Each structure stands twice: as C-alpha cells, then as structure tokens.
Amino acid sequence: MLAVLPLILAATEPLLSVFRSVNSHDTLVGDAIHTSPVRMTPAELADAARPILDTLHRQIIAATHDAYAAFENEGRATTQTARAARAATFGAVDTLLVDIDEVMPGRVDETTGEITLADHESADTYGIVDEIAGRVLSTGGRVLAVRRDEIPQKASLAAILRYAI
C-alpha cells in the first residue's frame, strides 16, 4: 500500500474553481492556499500549507478515535501491546496509532507475535512498537505516528483490527 499524500491546491480564482470542477484526484484537500504559487517561495508555500495539514491531521485522528470506539466493543480494537503484536504478525491490523516518543526494547516472535520485553536496548533487541508498525505496514495497514495524548487511553499504541482475534 502506498502512502496517501494530501494534495493542497494553491491558486487564485477562477483557476481554483475550474481545477476543482475537473479534478479526479481523490486526496484533494477541501481547503486551499488562496494565492498564486508563482508569487511564493517553497518555504512560504510550506508555511501556508501547515495550518491546512494541521486541520487535516486533527480530522484524521478524530475519525480514527471514532472507529476505535466503534470497534472496541466488538473485540476489534486494542491498546494492549501484546495483543497488537500478535494481530500485526497475522496481518489483522488495519490501522495503528503509535506514540512517536515510545521506546520499548525487546523482541517480537516472527511466527507467533509473542513479545519479550528487555530492560534495555542491546544488539539482540529492538523497539517493539517500531516492529509492530513495520508489520502493519508490510500487510497493507495504515500507521499514524502521534503524541501519546492522541492515543485512546494514552497508551503506547492503539490498533484497529480487520477482524476479531
């Protein structure tokens, strides 16, 4: 699965409306930069896009929280690292929220998904949350790196599963 990148339009009227009327790109963001990009430096375009991306990020996180809440009672959502590791190993994770600051050294078994925690990082260990995220990505799932406050129950991670396990 390729990463989906939002398309932010920078244009003035009437080009802005014309482009929207003929656009078929499904990731075109509703908001736009209402000026000609010809008159802006790349840094200025980036600065103008930042508030649009921040709003989009908040919307994605809110939608993910809604999905988590809906699937939690069906056994299709978890904040338990061990359960998420098993689910990721078997390709059952659709969406994973991970704390960008989390470091949890250990190992994840290749066949069972069982985790083994370590006291510290070493040549034999790696970041468990990073490994889970890698497994989710390798099976076509989506990973969102966020702050701990944006994860349900302020856990290290939250997984929305494709099916109950």
| Residue 129, token pair as written in the block | 């949350």
Q: Encode the chain (165 residues) as per-residue pLDDT tens digits.
A: 345 789 999 999 999 999 999 999 889 999 999 999 998 999 999 999 999 999 999 999 999 999 999 999 899 999 999 999 999 999 999 999 999 998 899 999 999 999 999 988 888 889 999 999 999 999 999 999 999 999 999 999 999 999 988
CB-CB contact of 81 with 128 (8 Å): yes
Instruction: Name every residue whose Cβ is closer than 8 Å to that of residue 7 and which is 6 or more positions away in sequence.
Output: 25, 27, 28, 29
Give the predicted TM-score (pTM) of the model: 0.83
Q: Using alpha carbons only, what angle is made at residue 4 by residues 160 and 147, rounded to the nearest 5 degrees?
A: 50
At residue 51, what are phi and psi to the nearest 5 degrees? -65, -35
Residue 121: per-residue pLDDT: 84
Residue 2: per-residue pLDDT: 42
Amino acid at 97: L
